[in-house]
């Protein structure tokens, strides 16, 4: 099913409920006061016109959708597809999972994403980290798409650094890893730290049922980005409370010399587990160093609202708050599933979520 719809002509107000697409996970950047929002997408309807069950979406190829807003997220314009599964097929990827986009100093955009390798029907979740270049944030340069970390090809290095991976011939197994959830080497987030060093953070594992944060520094040589150094896994202080760490985001408050880490977590043990048995929430941490140790700001958030995989659209550190947006999960009301609600604020001090209208 590669029937990717063209950009919807009508503006979306107070969130995004796309008539032709399911949407989930979110990442973004702000440039010249325009917010650029990206997410995963799959058509709501199959080629025969029947409606796709959201819980069956992993059986079909995804694409990365792009939206923009010139009014601080009050309305959104559909900018169409940034990257499709067809465009990454030469890397033996059968679909795309989440990532990030970051503007570079020369107006190019660095695009990071997860590629799911096409191996066999019993190993549908073999994940690799990939990068690409976009000149305008609307499409990527085909010859720039590269895999920079593959657990099968780089297994020895990854395990030597302290990460957990199943044996090579079982990577990506539909049955998970040693009585834990599916493998995790996904959701790369690009971040330039206070020293100007370019980092990638993504979801990984410390053992079969404990999520960890992966970190690598990346460099560009002759127009090609690659990993300069893969660091040991970063453990999260309440990591025993969840099995999967997903779609990480990192921010830096220059005035306080403080980093913020935002992750989405869940306690899923296997892919066949019903959605209503899986607890999904968002957690926020702080650290004086980009590699941690991280300190929790407090309560888990957004679980009761069925929101997951958020992005920070704008950071207002002067007022200790973050303007955010996050899609609804499959556990939301039927007409809300895999859509975006209105934006909201995360207040950092005191720590709480505000769903009130923006100023």
Q: pLDDT tens track of the chain, all 359 residues?
A: 568 999 999 999 999 999 999 999 999 999 999 999 999 999 999 988 899 999 899 999 999 999 999 999 999 999 999 999 999 999 999 999 999 999 999 999 999 999 999 999 999 999 999 999 999 999 999 999 999 999 999 999 999 999 999 999 999 999 999 999 999 999 999 999 999 999 999 999 999 999 999 999 999 998 899 999 999 999 999 999 999 999 999 999 999 999 999 999 999 998 888 888 899 999 999 999 999 999 999 889 999 999 999 999 999 999 999 999 999 999 999 999 999 999 999 999 999 999 975 44
In a 13 Å sphere around the CA of 290, the CA atoms on its Cβ side amount to: 23
Q: Would 1 be classed as within a structural domain?
A: no
Q: Would 66 be classed as within a structural domain?
A: yes
Q: Would 333 be classed as within a structural domain?
A: yes
Residues 6+ apart with CB under 8 A from 139: 82, 83
Sort residue 172 into left (φ over 0), alpha (ψ -120 to 50) or beta.
left
Q: Would 2 be classed as within a structural domain?
A: no
For residue 2, the model assigns a pLDDT of 64
Q: Would 172 be classed as within a structural domain?
A: yes
For residue 359, the model assigns a pLDDT of 46
Q: Would 179 be classed as within a structural domain?
A: yes
CATH of the domain at 335: 2.115.10.20
Range of the domain at 40: 12-354
Q: Would 82 be classed as within a structural domain?
A: yes
For residue 356, the model assigns a pLDDT of 75
Q: Would 7 be classed as within a structural domain?
A: no
Number of domains the chain contains: 1
């Amino acid at each position: 099913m590669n029937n990717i719809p063209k950009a919807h002509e009508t503006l979306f107000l107070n969130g995004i409920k796309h008539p032709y697409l399911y949407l989930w996970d979110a990442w973004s950047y702000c440039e010249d006061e325009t917010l650029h929002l990206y997410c995963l997408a799959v058509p709501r309807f199959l080629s025969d016109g029947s409606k796709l069950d959201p819980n069956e979406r992993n059986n079909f190829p995804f694409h990365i959708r792009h939206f923009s807003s010139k009014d601080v997220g009050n309305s959104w314009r559909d900018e169409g597809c940034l990257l499709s599964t067809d465009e990454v097929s030469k890397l033996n990827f059968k679909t795309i999972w989440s990532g990030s986009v970051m503007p570079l100093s020369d107006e190019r955009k660095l695009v990071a994403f997860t590629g799911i390798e096409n191996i066999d029907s019993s190993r549908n979740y073999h994940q690799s980290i990939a990068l690409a270049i976009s000149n305008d944030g609307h499409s990527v340069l085909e010859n720039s798409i590269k895999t920079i970390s593959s657990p099968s090809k780089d297994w020895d290095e990854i395990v030597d650094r302290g990460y957990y991976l199943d044996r090579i011939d079982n990577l990506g197994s539909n049955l998970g890893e040693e009585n834990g959830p599916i493998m995790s080497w996904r959701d790369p987030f690009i971040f330039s730290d206070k020293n100007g060093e370019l980092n990638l953070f993504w979801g990984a594992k410390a053992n079969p049922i404990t999520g960890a944060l992966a970190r690598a520094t990346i460099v560009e040589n002759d127009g090609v980005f690659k990993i300069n150094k893969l660091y040991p896994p970063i453990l999260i202080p309440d990591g025993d409370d969840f099995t999967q760490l997903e779609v990480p985001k990192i921010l830096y408050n220059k005035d306080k010399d403080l980093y913020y880490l935002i992750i989405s977590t869940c306690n899923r043990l296997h892919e066949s587990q019903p959605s209503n048995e899986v607890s999904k929430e968002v957690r926020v941490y702080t650290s004086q160093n980009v590699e941690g140790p991280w300190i929790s700001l407090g309560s888990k958030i957004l679980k009761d609202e069925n929101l997951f995989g958020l992005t920070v659209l704008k950071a207002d550190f002067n007022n200790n708050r973050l303007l955010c947006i996050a899609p609804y999960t499959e556990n939301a009301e039927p007409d809300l599933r895999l859509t975006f609600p209105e934006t909201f604020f995360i207040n950092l001090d005191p720590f709480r979520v505000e769903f009130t209208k923006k100023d």
